[in-house]
Structure 1
Amino acid sequence: MPLLRCLLALACLTVGVASAQSRTVTDAAGRRVEVPDRIERVLAAGPPAAVLLYTLAPKTMIGWPRAPRPEESAFLTPETAALPSTGRLTGRGGTANVEAVLALKPDLIVDVGSTGATYASLADRVQAQTGIPYILLDGSFSKVPETYRTLGTLIGAEAEGEALAAESEKILKTVAEAVAAVPPERRPRVYYGRGPRGLETGLSGSINTEIIEAAGGRNVATSEGMGGLAGISPEQVLAWNPDVILLLDPAFAASLPKDPLWSGLKAVKEGKVYAAPVLPFGWVDAPPGVNRLIGLRWLAGLFFPDQFKEPLPEAVRGFYRLFYHVEPSPAQIEALLAATAPLAKPQ
């Protein structure tokens, strides 16, 4: 079975002989790119690619788009956490430039996320300016197993890619089966608030909120139509009156029961406001990468606790061991999950 999966990955990343030292591959955007046969130094174009690369082949990393903070480094291998900041080539706030990329001497640049025309054009431009092959991989949540197999095959980490792909499939399948057992009308209406005041969210089709639907929640912002991230007014959140509120900022989440603007909401009244863990990477978002797999398990268990037999602390420990190459202590796991506890109801 592993051989069949590797062959499928090779079919997704079409390989042809370009020369004795290189291959021609077709990436997820349909671009034909000549890459070296031996790839040892890889530059992640943005945060999702950095997380993917760290989980799969940390020794190939030459840096992070942003150097890990001390609290993040505690959940990473010491040698990888110490890698420098290389800046980011893609997404909002790009900081890397051609000279900086050339100085790093990567064998390959990898980006994970959208494969649309904008990102394909950026990849073509950077590749033309630097002469360094630039590969785009599909960052869709459902494509995580395929992406692991594809990149693993490309960089010579087939066994590692297969192991992570298989575990990803297991998580996705377990959650999908749990969600399928719950009638649609019993699935909670969820608002996901980003930003310092919780007024940025993802619309229908947004990569930033697709994990909510995958976990069995109903994203209230889909009523605003298709799109990516968007600013939302407080009045709109009040009109939605969600069953559950998910936030990135723990301090802001803790303030809601005393905030006149939010305290009347159903989710706040019932204590169903949760701050998503963010160490070493966000469980729901930030970045929207493979790090969301443990967030998927957390959210689905939050929505439908009776559907899961494995205790969440055990699931977290196993995930961090396999994907992040560290085994968190009981105290670290307790601290991670403390942020996920429901907030006190308004008095």
Structure 2
Amino acid sequence: MKRIITMLFALLISIGLLAGCGTENASKGATQEVHTITDIGGTQVQLPTHVERIADLWPANNQVMLMLGGADKLVATTQYVQTLPWFSHIYPNIKNIAAPDRFGFDLQLEELQKVSPQVIIVNSKKQAEQVRQGGFTAVHMEFTDYKGLRNVVSMTADILGGNAVEIAKSYNAYLDKNIALAEEKTKGLTDAERPRVMHIATGENLLKVDGTKTIIDEWIHYAGGINAIEQKGRGLTLTMEEIIKANPDIIIVGDVNSKAAIEKIMNDPQWSGIKAVQMGRVYSNPVGTFKWDRYSAESALQILWAGQIIQPQLFGDINLVKETQDFYKHFMHYELSTTEAERIIAGEGPQ
């Protein structure tokens, strides 16, 4: 009897040890299936290693998703992204994806529940809190300069995993190359040789401009100019008197409605005394899958385009049409025709 009891006890211990090992291995397996990233707000977010369902509610970052090969993982986007002509031209399926927002101002959490995202990308602390309170996993991303752009590209790649990580590295290297090229071309310029440039954010409001400490201010400097707006911040609303006082040598108008805005500027007596208007140096900013001038992966091309506008004698050797075609082929997985590249650079939509 003692022998039988001893054998049973040994058997129970063995079963317990095996169960323990199984639990430990299961725990290790579970650990291997998730990873943690730190978002822009400093929150540590635990994500599955293989994320397959993503809601990207930051309009600009949908372009980064497309670039990194993750667009097919989108289960939710924004209504604004669906209005971008070149985005839907290159990736038509964007219009078939749920858009649970009212142009970015009001998230519809019940609509998000229907598509069951594993992670939701947002670009404000308020949205991140709203999404997390709704029981979702949120990653907060945003940037205001080129350093932040690199970080966002890398963070998005970390969410996607796989080939996205190498694409992100390649993109960041390309961005660094263009910045270095521009700095080399403009390093000998004095302040007197740098034109004063004013960037109007959108043709819907000609008094809304971009100041210093912004990515706009950075590319103006890289391209050989000086920001005519000396106030700090993006999307500043000035008076007409303040714009007249700034008296820019060059005006660049962003967004998809720039053509009508330029026509208004050139024919409005209030603008007639400004140097840029008198010299005919008022330009539409290029718009591709997203606006080149802000929050855009295509801002790597913006540096070269702005160089040709601001310092044409220094950047005249760059074939921007070919550069745009190469960029789209390598990063947007799409072969632009010459005409298509020209239309993007001119700020025009697809035909």
Cα distance in 1 for residues equivalent to 2:188 and 2:30: 50
TM-score, normalisation: structure 2 = 0.79
Counterpart of 2:90 in structure 1 is 76
Shift of 1:303: 1.3
Question: Quick one: which of 264, 278, 284 aligns to 2:273?
Answer: 264
Counterpart of 2:46 in structure 1 is 34
Question: Quick one: which of 316, 322, 342 aligns to 1:334?
Answer: 342
* Residues 1:131 and 2:136 aligned together: yes
Shift of 1:88: 4.5
User: Residue type of the partner of 1:126?
Assistant: V
* Residues 1:281 and 2:287 aligned together: no
* Residues 1:109 and 2:120 aligned together: yes
Shift of 1:246: 0.8
Question: Quick one: which of 178, 181, 190 aligns to 2:185?
Answer: 178
User: Residue type of the partner of 2:47?
Assistant: V
The answer to whether the 8 Å contact 1:24/1:33 transfers is yes
* Residues 1:61 and 2:48 aligned together: no
The answer to whether the 8 Å contact 1:250/1:275 transfers is yes
The farther-off stretch of 314-323 and 145-154 is 145-154
Q: How does 1:87-166 map to 2 (within 5 A)?
A: 87-88=100-101, 93-111=104-122, 119-136=124-141, 138=143, 140-156=145-161, 157-166=164-173
1:38–1:306: structure 2 CA closer, same or farther, 3 Å change rule? same
Shift of 1:283: 1.8
Secondary structure of the residue that 2:137 maps to in structure 1? coil
Counterpart of 2:18 in structure 1 is none
Cα distance in 2 for residues equivalent to 1:163 and 1:35: 24
Structure 1 or 2: more helix by fraction: 2
Q: Deviations over 1:135-156 (max 9, x none)?
A: 4354532333343233223321
Cα distance in 1 for residues equivalent to 2:217 and 2:188: 22
Shift of 1:188: 1.1
The answer to whether the 8 Å contact 2:209/2:237 transfers is yes
Identity among equivalent pairs (%): 23
The answer to whether the 8 Å contact 2:142/2:148 transfers is no
Secondary structure of the residue that 2:271 maps to in structure 1? coil
User: Residue type of the partner of 1:102?
Assistant: Q
Q: Name the Cα RMSD after superposition.
A: 2.8
Structure 1: which 5+ runs fail to align? 1-16, 113-118, 341-347
1:44–1:105: structure 2 CA closer, same or farther, 3 Å change rule? same
User: Residue type of the partner of 2:253?
Assistant: L
The answer to whether the 8 Å contact 2:84/2:289 transfers is no
Secondary structure of the residue that 2:96 maps to in structure 1? coil
Counterpart of 2:10 in structure 1 is none
Counterpart of 1:52 in structure 2 is 64
The farther-off stretch of 162-171 and 136-145 is 136-145
Secondary structure of the residue that 2:198 maps to in structure 1? strand
Shift of 1:108: 1.4
The answer to whether the 8 Å contact 2:253/2:285 transfers is yes
Cα distance in 1 for residues equivalent to 2:42 and 2:227: 31
1:75–1:153: structure 2 CA closer, same or farther, 3 Å change rule? same
Counterpart of 1:43 in structure 2 is 55
Count of matched residue pairs:
312
Counterpart of 1:310 in structure 2 is 318
TM-score, normalisation: structure 1 = 0.80
Cα distance in 2 for residues equivalent to 1:330 and 1:20: 46
Counterpart of 1:116 in structure 2 is none
The farther-off stretch of 156-165 and 268-277 is 156-165
Secondary structure of the residue that 1:242 maps to in structure 2? coil
The answer to whether the 8 Å contact 1:199/1:231 transfers is yes
User: Residue type of the partner of 2:336?
Assistant: P
* Structure of larger gyration radius: 2
Shift of 1:245: 0.6
